Amino acid sequence: MWWQVVDDQYAQTVKHLENSCCRCHQTQNY
């Protein structure tokens, strides 16, 4: 079931990007 592994990695990558974006916006706000 390689597609589940790829989907899991994609989900983790999306979360990482969202977290980085949030931190970036918070830093810009302050």
Return per-residue pLDDT of the chain as tens, 30 residues. Answer: 667 888 888 989 888 887 776 666 666 554
Per DSSP, the three-state class of 30 is: coil
With b meaning 16 or more CB within 10 Å and e meaning fewer, what string describes 10-22? eeeeeeeeeeeee
| pLDDT (0 to 100) of residue 30 | 47
Tokens of 22: 């949030």
